[in-house]
């Protein structure tokens, strides 16, 4: 498993993957120190991830074409697959997610699987909000979830003053 570090506008991300695909893309709470270094000879999926994340944050990309290889239970993988169907600049609720999975009673399990998503942004768990429109939990922090949703918003609000 190779590791790459990516400096996004909302903090450092640690990317892990190999030739079979991207296994994780998670935000770090700390700055990268000199002892943490990107692996040499990155796999093609990691190289592609670095390019496509740069394009996403530059506003030039709305979807990703990266082989993914997240590790989880069958149910988690089903939830993560469903997350990838949420279009850019759109949101859904945890309840709608549970309904789409075929059972409204799995709302808590779906929310838990959403929270364990190991591939931030590319598997867009930030696009799931509360039924009342509130910004409910995000493993990367609510400040990042808010930034990502604003970044993807079709309506850009500039500063008034």
Catalytic residue numbers read 125
By CB atoms closer than 10 A (0-12, 13-18, 19+), residue 115 is: middle
Query: Angle at CA 49, nearest 5°, toward 120 and 24?
Result: 40
Helical ranges in the chain per DSSP H: 44-57, 74-83, 94-100, 107-115, 142-152
């Amino acid at each position: 498993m190779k590791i790459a570090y990516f400096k996004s506008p909302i903090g450092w991300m640690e990317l892990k993957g190999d030739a079979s695909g991207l296994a994780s893309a998670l935000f770090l709470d700390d700055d990268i120190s000199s002892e943490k270094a990107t692996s040499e000879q990155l796999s093609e999926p990691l190289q592609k991830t670095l390019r496509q994340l740069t394009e996403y944050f530059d506003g030039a990309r709305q979807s990703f074409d990266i082989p993914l290889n997240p590790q989880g239970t069958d149910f988690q993988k089903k939830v993560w697959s469903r997350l990838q169907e949420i279009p850019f600049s759109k949101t859904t609720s945890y309840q709608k997610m549970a309904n789409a999975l075929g059972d409204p009673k799995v709302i808590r399990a779906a929310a838990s699987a959403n929270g364990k998503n190991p591939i931030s942004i590319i598997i867009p768990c930030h696009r799931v909000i509360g039924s009342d429109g509130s910004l409910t939990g995000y493993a990367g922090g609510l400040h990042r979830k808010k930034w990502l949703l604003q970044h993807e918003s079709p309506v850009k609000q500039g500063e008034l003053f």
